[in-house]
Chains A and B, each alone.
Chain A
Amino acid sequence: MENMITLTIDGVEVTVPEGTTVLEAAVKANIKIPTLCYLKGVNEIGACRMCIVDTGARAFNAACTMPASQGLVVKTNTPAVRAARRVNLELILSNHDRSCLTCVRSKNCELQTVARDLGVDEIRFSGSNGEREPIDDSSVAIIRDPNKCILCRRCVATCYNVQNVGVLGATERGFKTHVEPLFGKGLGEVPCIQCGQCIQACPVGALRERDDTDKVWAAIADPTKHVVVHAAPSIRVGLGEEFDMPMGTRVTGKMAAAMRRLGFDKVFDTNFAADMTIVEEGNEFIERLTKGGKLPMITSCSPGWVKFCETYYPDFIDNLSTCKSPMSMMGAAIKTYYAEKAGIDPKDIVVVAIMPCTAKKFEAQREELSNNGLPNTDIVLTTREFARMIRQSGMDFATLPDESFDSIMGEGSGAGAIFGATGGVMEAALRTVYEKVTGQTLENIDFTAVRGVEGIKEATIKVGDIDVNVAVAHTTGNASKLLDAIRKGEKQYHFIEIMACPGGCVAGGGQPIVPAPIKMKEDPRVKRAAAIYEEDKHLPKRKSHENEELLAMYREYMGEVGGHRAHELLHTHYVKRPKY
């Protein structure tokens, strides 16, 4: 039984477990304390001094780091507290590039919100008056603007504590302090995995995705191009938030309608390729399992994870499934199977992938992910960029009708749909592997042991006479823990799913950004995943190997699963990458 303590905040008594911070207790009492550097469970360092409160001590305390104690009396809203917060905020603002009108985070900026909430109507300090600093655009996926950085260190904590990557740090001191990679290098010159979780962590516009919407507009406007779009499973459970819908709203039909109205020539579904991945990967797993191949086999859908493996755990490269990700399989199939069926020269096809992911921008550029001299994917847009295009078009997203995806690559099963949530690929694979190995129909297809947001999940699944040990990890930090245990021989598995982002793709680096104060109350990983499992339940087919359009593709073009043509188009290889 937890020790409970009672404290008083602004006259409201609140009882919380011992160890709770004053900030968390205030959230429980429905009292809003402003925060900037605080990111629940990730960055709790009391640096920005926005959350200072009066506890009767000699000086104000930061509520985010101060433990609540029995009988503590906290005042969050006195004239002195308000004045002190305001000075602190003015000092932060004095050195911030306040070009809010043209900032990508306008209306979704925590600094803007706090400034408004605190009623800051002038800034009495002039800041460093330094020159504008160059923007770091060395990375294909992530742009860093030091002029907007408020040095909260949320990205630093995320990159190291959550992802075990650590390419961002605080350097120098005083006005010269920067949050940046070391030795003045750009993000494109250090072993960043482009997961984009730093963008998700950033309260302002200092970190953002590279915007490729202009390229898409240009392709759509070019009459010689046949522009094909497909959207990942997680887009349909995240996109609505960009249009003020509640977290976890399913907008599959509106999304398809929006794509069509933007002018794409074909509207396909990445879920089709997720199913393709499952039949290929399931087949690969069965081969490895029965013919003595390298085990555990580890999934390779998440490009952040793949680059993490290549850079930090290269001894596991042979464990990676040779399957391309659904995005790259989709592109390869569009430029071969679809091109042939539609009678279009693949050179005239532009494949646009809408992804919840920033690392996909890097994946698209990998040379090995091309066939016949053409890249599998031409342009990757994040969910946020896609929403930007919808806004620019003047569409009223909320009132769009529900439309379907186009044939011949528009069908997706429930198994494909759940790819977006941590554990989803594993569950989808098990649904297929079980039936392929046993030849029997799987009655209970919900593998709930691999669902949920626990960092590392394990299960043993009986497939015929074999006990298959599986593990699922999300965040590369958790992946490290799992792989370290395997290296030491403490753990043995047959099959592992790893996703780079917390909660899987639903909370990927390219998804709508949820401000930290909202994350204190609602977990986007949980809400969006719940929507994805709803999606699964409502689909007529819930197993990848029952996807009719997919079966037609194998029958009419691809040949055998894992066969010669499938290998050429749908499988890839990996390279060891240096750290520094």
Chain B
Amino acid sequence: MAECCQNEKFAELQQVIDQLKDSQGSLMQVMQKAQDIFGYLPIEVQNFIADGMGVPVTEVYGVATFYSQFSLEPKGEHTLSICLGTACYVKGAQAVLDRIKSELGITEGKTTADGRFTLLATRCLGCCGLAPVLTIGEEVYGRVVPDDVPGILAKY
């Protein structure tokens, strides 16, 4: 990434911090905005937030790892989320996940080396009738079996 864009992003984050710094319990809000700006929360961004908010960076990191919505690594072009909620799980989501992992060669929470896919295991997506369910971006795939996986991935 060009340095100019990076500087602009930090400037934008600084504005967010300046706005929210003095309101109590605003760390998470700042972190959410930071993730919107940068796409993820690398150590430089966490340090920047910690300095700006006057908290130890370990606290920022603690929040970032506590909530699954935060990512410590850059997200791929497409985010593949597979539901491991109760309904999907009993309908065989684990086997689908295993197949995805072997097709992409990554584990949950990771991004493929070519930056195309990020794989997330999620809780209920709210469409248990379609179990097991996975989503890629906004697209929903229902009643997936392991052998569907290569075909689905090929579309992206």
A-side residues, CB < 8 A to B, are 156, 159-160, 166-173, 181-183, 579-580
Contact = CB atoms under 8 A, between A and B. Distances in A.
A170 B56 contact: no
Nearest to B44: A580
A214 to B, nearest CB: 33
Contact of B57 (A166, A170, A172): A166
Q: Is the interface of B mostly helix, strand, loop or mixed?
A: helix
Nearest to B61: A182
Interface of B: 43, 46-47, 56-59, 61-62, 65-66, 72
B27 to A, nearest CB: 13
A580 B47 contact: yes
Given A166-B58, A172-B66, 7 more contacts: A156-B58, A159-B56, A168-B58, A171-B65, A173-B65, A182-B46, A182-B58
Given A169-B62, A170-B62, A183 B43 contact: yes
Contact of B58 (A172, A173, A181): A181
Nearest to B46: A182
Can you list the 9 inter-chain pairs with the closest CB atoms, starting with the nearest?
Answer: A169-B58, A166-B56, A182-B61, A169-B62, A171-B65, A160-B56, A172-B65, A170-B62, A173-B66
Contacts of A172: 65-66
27 contacts: A160-B56, A160-B58, A160-B59, A166-B56, A166-B57, A168-B58, A169-B56, A169-B58, A169-B59, A169-B62, A170-B62, A171-B62, A171-B66, A172-B65, A172-B66, A173-B66, A181-B58, A182-B43, A182-B46, A182-B57, A182-B58, A183-B61, A183-B72, A579-B47, A580-B43, A580-B47, A580-B57
Nearest to A174: B66
Contacts of B47: 579-580
Contacts of A181: 58
Contacts of B66: 171-173
A579 B46 CA distance: 13
A171 B56 contact: no
Contacts, number: 39
Nearest to A180: B58
B124 to A, nearest CB: 18
Contacts of A182: 43, 46, 57-58, 61
Nearest to A182: B61
Contacts of A171: 61-62, 65-66
A166 B72 contact: no
Nearest to A172: B65
A182 B66 CA distance: 12
A172 B67 CA distance: 8
A171 B63 CA distance: 7
Contacts of A159: 56
A166 B58 CA distance: 7
A444 B74 CA distance: 66
A169 B72 CA distance: 16
Nearest to A191: B57
Contacts of A156: 58
Contacts of B58: 156, 160, 166-169, 181-182
Nearest to A169: B58
A151 to B, nearest CB: 12
A43 to B, nearest CB: 14
